[in-house]
Structure 1
């Protein structure tokens, strides 16, 4: 649904996605948002203006992944503006989801350290949930492998709770009031994995990762992961709706996403 296409425009909710490369899009999350009455808009970082009014004004912000890092602001000046607009939104406790680079940007905007690790984690592999993760919607993953594609790491921001880890990356997810950060890619559409393999061909070659193995794992794990990821995103979106509904009853209702923590 494009913004303004709804039968009743007065009921539209806007989901704004900041995209860094064309093939790392909302994936399976896009139809879920449309089904819930959101009109979906993309802003392409480095091309479109990331104005504070647009970023803060959206009902939901999703910050997507990409092959740059938080520390690349000198080479990619839009990163600094992106951090500032995300920070302005988070200061208002407005619903915000970050995936991979997006989670790192949210962590940095909340004052947490984000650093390169000198290694990579690429391909399908399971995550281990913390006690907080096991008590929330991420538990719906079970043991299903998720898609990893990162080399940087974030510390857990103040006011959020660590949800998941892997052997090489102790901080894979965090959650707080109206905010969720995922280092891994629950949103990726496994039927479109070829776009990732072509777009990241150089990185795969440098790290001697055979695209055929990632392609095979996408076929093996992608369908089940899509079902589970849809339920996880659906649960989070439902919790946001409940928090918004209860926010008119007092300050406690405004932060009722604690079941993710």
Structure 2
């Protein structure tokens, strides 16, 4: 446990949308930085009843929903209100895939279906700003992509990474808000669950479950190391921010 973890426990609220799309290897990094994690399942929880500012950090995970489908999934509207309250307060948020799309929507940007799903173990390229951000740890490291929606870059954020298919792969606002379109959380278990659940989609993208298992064997360990480095650096930045506020 880090010195920061030993000195004070923090709380992380995780918004999960599907049991198969969980916290994965992000969990140990949160624990190492002294976070007590509470995971709630947004589809069956009264998100509107949650105090948006109670947790030190909110982590918003992926899902099959579209951030624009608030009529079909009313809890997404409640999540957007929660995120908007945290954004107003500059309270830390980390978003993954759907979580990044919801953050883009909460910041006033358009979220919409892309022309084609981005699926597989693929690289993202850090931008100039991204090279000086936690996302730099994924430079040259293939990571899991599995999404069909995308978003316009919100005003007042920095784009941190791009890919040949979708230019908005990660963004941040100052040191407290970080969003990634790709999936740094994927473990072997999560990978297998996704292949079981959605593997029938793969032939449409020239892929197979066998190929993705081979790529997981090659890229999984470096991707998990990059994930720990990315989240760890982000959390360290939050800790430094807290110390600065305390000193002020």
TM more than 0.5? yes
CA RMSD of aligned residues (A): 1.8
> Does the 8 Å CA contact 2:123/2:139 hold for their aligned counterparts?
no
- Taking a change above 3 Å as real, the CA distance of residues 181 and 52 of structure 1, as seen in their structure-2 partners, is farther
Query: Counterpart of 2:224?
Result: 226
Counterpart Cα distance in 1 of 2:199 and 2:122: 20
- 1:20 alignment partner, one of 6, 17, 20: 17
TM-superposed deviation, 1:51: 3.2
> Looking at both structures, which has the greater relative contact order when contacts are Cα pairs under 8 Å and sequence separation is at least 6?
2
Counterpart Cα distance in 2 of 1:185 and 1:191: 14
- Show structure 1 runs of 5+ residues with no match: 1-7, 251-261
- Show structure 2 runs of 5+ residues with no match: 1-5
Structure 1 segments, 4+ long, off by >4 Å, are: 205-208
- 2:58 alignment partner, one of 53, 56, 61: 61
Query: Counterpart of 2:43?
Result: 46
Counterpart Cα distance in 1 of 2:241 and 2:55: 16
- 1:217 alignment partner, one of 206, 215, 219: 215
SS in 1 for 2:167: coil
Once the two structures are overlaid, the 10-residue window that deviates more, 216-225 or 46-55, is: 46-55
TM-score normalized with structure 2 length = 0.91
State whether structure 2 residue 186 is matched by structure 1 residue 188: yes
Tell me the matched-pair count.
Answer: 242
> Does the 8 Å CA contact 1:52/1:85 hold for their aligned counterparts?
no
- 1:132 alignment partner, one of 121, 129, 133: 129
Counterpart Cα distance in 2 of 1:104 and 1:149: 13
TM-superposed deviation, 1:136: 2.0
Query: Counterpart of 1:112?
Result: 109
SS in 2 for 1:131: coil
Counterpart Cα distance in 2 of 1:105 and 1:243: 24
